[in-house]
Amino acid sequence: MDTIVSMNRSSEHLQTTRRAAGLSLRELARLAGTSHATLSQYEQGHKTPSVEVFLRVLEAAGYSVDLLLRKRIRERRGMPRGEELAQVLELAEQFPVQASAELEFPRFGR
């Protein structure tokens, strides 16, 4: 199960992974070293586990979390994010649109 993990949706992630692993609350709690009551509180969203506990529970269910870091582009060549796209779209609007009634495909092999 590949998914993007968000700690503000930890209850959904814990419940989904537990069910996918075919474990009961008590089984997963025992494997993760916590109580089934606490795990139930996490799954219901009444409590939020620490990152350490969250990862421990996921691992006990047979899952791991991979971290992907991406650089956030705020500016490119001194131009604010999105401005380049806006300029390209403005330029594209200046070209005439010529629609053909039939699709034309290139001929290959000659």
Residues 21 and 5: their CA atoms lie apart, in Å, by 17
pLDDT confidence of residue 52: 93
pLDDT tens per residue across all 110 residues of the chain: 555 555 568 889 899 999 999 999 999 999 999 999 999 999 999 999 999 999 999 999 999 888 888 777 777 778 787 888 888 899 988 887 777 778 777 788 76
Domain membership of residue 37 (yes or no) is yes
Residue 65 has a pLDDT of 85
Q: At what angle do helices 25-32 and 51-60 cross, to 10 degrees?
A: 120
Return d(Cα 41, Cα 52) in angstroms, integer.
16
Q: Report yes or no on 30 lying in a domain.
A: yes
Q: Which one-letter amino acid corresponds to residue 18?
A: R
73 φ/ψ angles, rounded to the nearest 5 degrees? -85, 115
Residue 110 resides in a domain: no
pTM of the full structure: 0.57
Residue 49 maps to a domain: yes
Q: Nearest to residue 54, comparing CAs of 2, 3, 6, 4?
A: 6
Domain membership flag for residue 69: no
DSSP 71: -
| Measured CA distances, 2 to 13, 58, 81 (Å) | 11, 13, 29
